[in-house]
Amino acid sequence: MSHILWSLYWTDNVDKFRRLLAPAGYGAPAAAPARSPNIGTGGSSYGGVATSPRVVAKARKVSGHGASFGGARLGAGGFGKHEVNSRDHMGLTILLRAASSTSGNAIGFVEALLGHAAIDVYAQDPESGWNALHRALYAGNISIARLLLEKEGRDLTGQTVAAAIGRVGQLIKTKDNEGNSPFDLYNSTIGERVLEVSDDSSTSDTGSSDTGDARGDSPT
């Protein structure tokens, strides 16, 4: 069913994407009231036209809100680790794609994914080694970067001390294939451009400038 999630992502349908991944019970229709045992099954309790008794099958337990897509009823329980972390032909998960997307709905897709218990926030691009934080910071999606870090923090609070210690800061500490952490990448791309804009007169008579030191290169 992962193709459904990808289809909704590529068509920018964030509303249906949210509904499919919503926690169990979100937007679920109210259960029909139980029929009183004193009311016969041979006709309406209000004296209406009699109808044949309907055999009610035992309801199958379904996790999630049962959203509909293409005639099939799906819920959060219908999407497991394989579906929410499935990869496209480039080896990217939807989270990796959305983290660096320039779409106005990108943050909505990220929020929906981070709300799913099986999402892997540490998944990396097999070509570059970038995780979702690398991609978010490279694209300047600071709000998405914050969501990722907050998600990691929430996950760690629910783990044992030993397990949490082993993963503290893993999003930030993960190195890409060139040895850059997410913030190393940010400093060499977004940070570099910001510094250049704020200091058009990079060559001044002040000698060794702070800008040159911050960028890690020698002032010219």
CATH code, domain carrying 73: 1.25.40.20
Would 39 be classed as within a structural domain? no
Q: How confident is the model at residue 207 (pLDDT cuts 50, 70, 90)?
A: very low
In angstroms, rounded to a whole number, what is the distance separating the alpha carbons of residues 84 and 76?
Answer: 10
pLDDT at 165: 55
pLDDT beyond 90 at 1: no
In angstroms, rounded to a whole number, what is the distance separating the alpha carbons of residues 3 and 9?
Answer: 10
Would 36 be classed as within a structural domain? no
The b/e string for 111-149 (b: 16+ C-beta within 10 A; e otherwise) is bbbbebeebebebbbeebebbbbbbbbbbbbeebbebbb
pTM: 0.64
Would 127 be classed as within a structural domain? yes
Would 200 be classed as within a structural domain? no
Q: How confident is the model at residue 78 (pLDDT cuts 50, 70, 90)?
A: confident
Q: What is the DSSP letter of 59?
A: P
- E-only strand ranges, 19-144: 67-69, 72-74
Quote the domain boundaries for residue 149. Answer: 2-27+66-188
Would 218 be classed as within a structural domain? no
Would 196 be classed as within a structural domain? no
Q: How confident is the model at residue 188 (pLDDT cuts 50, 70, 90)?
A: confident
Q: Region 121-127: what's the mean pLDDT?
A: 96
Structural domain total, the chain: 1
What are 2-53's pLDDT values in tens digits?
799 999 999 999 999 999 998 754 444 444 444 444 444 444 433 444 444 4
Between 92 and 160, the more confident residue is 92
Which is nearest to 109 in space by CA: 101, 28, 117, 124?
101
Would 211 be classed as within a structural domain? no
Would 45 be classed as within a structural domain? no
Contacts by 35-42 with C-beta closer than 8 Å and gap 24+?
none
Q: CB–CB of 79/112 below 8 Å?
A: no
Which is nearest to 183 in space by CA: 213, 148, 218, 219?
148
Burial of 200 (0-12, 13-18, 19+ CB in 10 A): exposed
Average pLDDT over the chain reads 73
Residue 178: left if φ>0, alpha if ψ -120 to 50, beta else—which one?
alpha
Q: Region 124-140: what's the mean pLDDT?
A: 96
What are 137-165's pLDDT values in tens digits?
999 999 999 999 999 988 888 655 555 55
